[in-house]
Structure 1
Amino acid sequence: MEDIPVILVTAGYDHTIRMWDALKSTCTRTIPYTTESQINRMALSSDKHYLAVAGNPSVSLYDVFGSSDLPVLKLDGHTGNVTAVEFTQDYKFLATGSEDRTIRWWDVYAGGCKYILENGSLVTDIAIHPDSRQELVVSSDKDGLVRVWSWRRKEVLCQVAPQPDVAVWSVAVSPSGRLVVAGDNTGRVYVYRLIIDATPQGDRSVELEHYASFDAHEDSRITRTLFSPDGVFLATCSSDHTARLWHIPEGPGSAAAAAAGIDTTDDTGPGGVRLVRTLEYHHRWVWDAAFSSNSGYLVTVSTDTRAALWEVSTGEVIREFKGHQKGVVCVALNDAIG
């Protein structure tokens, strides 16, 4: 991958953004984050050229291969902490969620906000549906709602409250677009089928149908949920100092699960959900994680100031990344080819 490098980025409470040589565990570039804000979440564009950094209350875009430590673009408009950020697959647009109770849809090239979605509660996380034709974004909030939005029409198409008045801190959409998961303040994960019915007249109905729920990290906050790119694994991060890998079948006899060596016929929970392994390395809260493009590796970051690279098949740490002086709360990884 000499021509297409692995881009691994971490950031934390020490107000630095660090880029790493993932194979050597060495920091290759440090960008000082000079605002008074903390860094909450990061995202890399699919072409690897831009890094979006969410703070309070702005989002800054950096040129990954540039020499300047200054952002190439700053997106102003939110009036509260920006808690979530995600590029569309074509990296033309960026979605953000904020404690100012809004979700914003940004035009990256024009540098302006195209749509504002009024949520009515502090937004904790967002996830863009993988099929851009659907024009959907899923959100979670502090009041405990999971909502599916049409970002272009600026309206809620459906919503659920997994546990009334229990904050939902993270949401994720499976690569197929058929499942939505939500992790809450008590360590419980809820799985929904996302059902989209279109009519010949062009109308459609959208529904979140309960599929399964389970205690992923009992009595602990779930800080992050994310699917592996192949859809085989769901990773959950938690305040209990661990990350966990789960398999959630979307149908009987998943060929991908079999290829990954997962026995889905034994020791399964509700809806066939299976705990594949618990990843124990960190000594404090695990805040964020990122999968490699082939789903074979996972990077986790923690308040213990470290990042760890795991081999998914064995559950072993194969690289450690040390250099931050304070807690590490977000990570972004792009090692895709092409």
Structure 2
Amino acid sequence: MPSDPNAYKNREPHKLPDSQQKYMYEDNAVVLVTAGHDHSIRMWDALKSSCTRTIQYNDSQINRIALSPDKRYLAVAGNPHVKLYDVFSPSQNPILILEGHKAAVTAVEFTSDMRYLATSSEDKSIRWWDLRSGSCEHVLEGSHPFNGIAIVPTFRHEFIVSCDQGGHVLLWSIKLKSVLVKILLDSDSSRVPQSVRTVAVSPDGKVIVAANNLGGVFVYKLSISNDLLEQQQTFLKNKASNPDQITPQIFDASSLLDARLITSFNAHDGKYITRSVFSGNGKFLVTCSADKTAKIWRFKTVKISNKLDQTTQNSKNQQISIQPFSPKKTEYIYEIRAELVHTLSYHKSWVWDAAFSNDSGYLVTVSSDKTAALWDVLRGRVIKEFIGHEKGVLCVALNDATT
């Protein structure tokens, strides 16, 4: 592999190998991967807590990793490249190198059909990569360095949510390369906006969670009309048929989608939240923090008395009321509240990342203390620890899905 990054610039675009090609591929394998400051990627036997393979990544520290849905490929986000490795090949070399970002890559995510890969970077851009050709299909330009992204799993992967260092959560149309919804988490102009460190979208695509530097978590209800895709496609066709039009055409999606705050809460008491992740079944949310803990949450709907003093108190707690569905007048209103399930206290330093098992029953966390830990979600207890990294562990990926 060439040591000079410029050696790749004149090469033909790479693409993933034929999916029928097999190395030591196992459909039912448990794939657990960690990486971080020590420039190494480690793959683990989750049952024995032993490292089975190490890949040296000498370019930079590793900021984020992601496993493809079929477990075959590992995407590694560094500075500034993204590299893909075959999980079941013994080779140290990547099978695909994605070049284009100019600064550290902060997030990477596969689409569920594995046709595309999304990345975000501190260079203020989001890139949408076609894995069939190995080329960048779309570039979304922002105003601030991006900290994270989350693909909306519904609507054919047409939309992506981002968070940035300017305090914003943005909902993008990938094909339009434009922002459809812009949220400033702290609207008080007298304060400096806090960086939004992490963003997550629920598996059903209906909830957005964002968290900031001060330990605050903000939960939004995402509503997207089924007409949005059709109207977006019509807009793109009209724009393509009139390329010389002087007046810029603007797509107005305000009546077709909405992101409404339904609750917010202080999860980590003024400390950085480094990561937020939904479980696969959508029942749990984990937040990781600089306070050396990870916390597991669930959301519940609470019926409360519709009294003036209680409504006033709710507004102070930043709880947003949702009116009941019954057409008849009632003396009750409903709130969405976050309930703490477990505080996971084991690590001796910052907790940077977490990954749920496919059945949502287990969770792996990683920390600056050089370790990873496997937790029983229902009991909130450590089952196994993984030791071997020489420096802090920043990211983890887990795929134990069975066929």
Match of 1:236 among 276, 287, 291: 287
Match of 2:135 among 105, 112, 125: 112
Separation in 1 of the partners of 2:62 and 2:229?
Answer: 45
With 157-166 and 143-152 compared, the bigger mean Cα shift is at 157-166
Separation in 1 of the partners of 2:261 and 2:289?
Answer: 23
What are the residue-to-residue correspondences of 1:325-336 with 2, within 5 Å?
325-336=390-401
Separation in 1 of the partners of 2:156 and 2:77?
Answer: 26
Match of 1:18 among 36, 42, 46: 42
Aligned to 2:152: 129
Structure 1 vs Structure 2 CA RMSD: 1.7
User: Residue 163 of structure 2 contacts residue 169 of structure 2 at CA under 8 Å; is this kept in 1?
Assistant: yes
Separation in 1 of the partners of 2:128 and 2:342?
Answer: 36
User: Residue 236 of structure 1 contacts residue 243 of structure 1 at CA under 8 Å; is this kept in 2?
Assistant: yes
Aligned to 1:138: 161
Separation in 2 of the partners of 1:109 and 1:311?
Answer: 38
Q: Deviations over 1:31-64 (max 9, x none)?
A: 01121x1100000000101000000000000000
Aligned length: 321
Separation in 1 of the partners of 2:393 and 2:82?
Answer: 18
Separation in 1 of the partners of 2:58 and 2:116?
Answer: 25
Aligned to 1:263: none
With 306-315 and 134-143 compared, the bigger mean Cα shift is at 134-143
Q: CA deviation at 1:206?
A: 1.9
With 58-67 and 268-277 compared, the bigger mean Cα shift is at 268-277
The letter of the residue matching 1:42 is I
Aligned to 1:259: none
Q: CA deviation at 1:231?
A: 0.5
- After superposition, the Cα gap between the structure-2 partners of 1:285 and 1:195, relative to the gap in structure 1 and judged at 3 Å, is same
The letter of the residue matching 1:196 is I
Aligned to 2:260: 209
Aligned to 1:324: 389
Q: CA deviation at 1:201?
A: 9.6
Given the alignment of the two structures, is residue 176 of structure 1 paired with residue 204 of structure 2, yes or no?
Answer: yes
Matched residue of 2:89: which SS? coil
Matched residue of 2:230: which SS? coil
Tell which structure's C-alpha radius of gyration is larger. 2
With 105-114 and 269-278 compared, the bigger mean Cα shift is at 269-278
Match of 1:8 among 32, 36, 39: 32
Separation in 1 of the partners of 2:122 and 2:390?
Answer: 27
Aligned to 2:353: 288
Give the structure with the larger helix fraction: 2
Q: Deviations over 1:126-148 (max 9, x none)?
A: 00011142511000000000000
Aligned to 1:194: 222
The letter of the residue matching 1:231 is G
Aligned to 2:322: none
User: Residue 188 of structure 1 contacts residue 217 of structure 1 at CA under 8 Å; is this kept in 2?
Assistant: yes
Match of 1:93 among 116, 129, 136: 116
Separation in 2 of the partners of 1:303 and 1:118?
Answer: 32
Match of 1:41 among 64, 78, 84: 64
- After superposition, the Cα gap between the structure-2 partners of 1:87 and 1:322, relative to the gap in structure 1 and judged at 3 Å, is same
User: Residue 120 of structure 2 contacts residue 127 of structure 2 at CA under 8 Å; is this kept in 1?
Assistant: yes
- After superposition, the Cα gap between the structure-2 partners of 1:49 and 1:134, relative to the gap in structure 1 and judged at 3 Å, is closer
Aligned to 2:52: 28
Aligned to 2:368: 303
Q: Deviations over 1:221-271 (max 9, x none)?
A: 00000100000000000000000000024x679xxxxxxxxxxxxxx9942
The letter of the residue matching 1:154 is K
Among all aligned residue pairs of Structure 1 and Structure 2, give the percentage whose two residues are the same amino acid: 54
User: Residue 38 of structure 1 contacts residue 56 of structure 1 at CA under 8 Å; is this kept in 2?
Assistant: yes
Aligned to 1:56: 79
User: Residue 159 of structure 1 contacts residue 208 of structure 1 at CA under 8 Å; is this kept in 2?
Assistant: no
Q: CA deviation at 1:3?
A: 5.1
Q: CA deviation at 1:200?
A: 9.0
User: 5+ unaligned residues in a row in structure 2: which ranges?
Assistant: 1-25, 188-192, 232-252, 304-316, 320-335
The letter of the residue matching 2:398 is L
- After superposition, the Cα gap between the structure-2 partners of 1:227 and 1:269, relative to the gap in structure 1 and judged at 3 Å, is farther
Given the alignment of the two structures, is residue 153 of structure 1 paired with residue 176 of structure 2, yes or no?
Answer: yes
Q: CA deviation at 1:90?
A: 0.8
Give the structure with the larger strand fraction: 1
Q: CA deviation at 1:273?
A: 1.3
User: Residue 210 of structure 2 contacts residue 217 of structure 2 at CA under 8 Å; is this kept in 1?
Assistant: yes
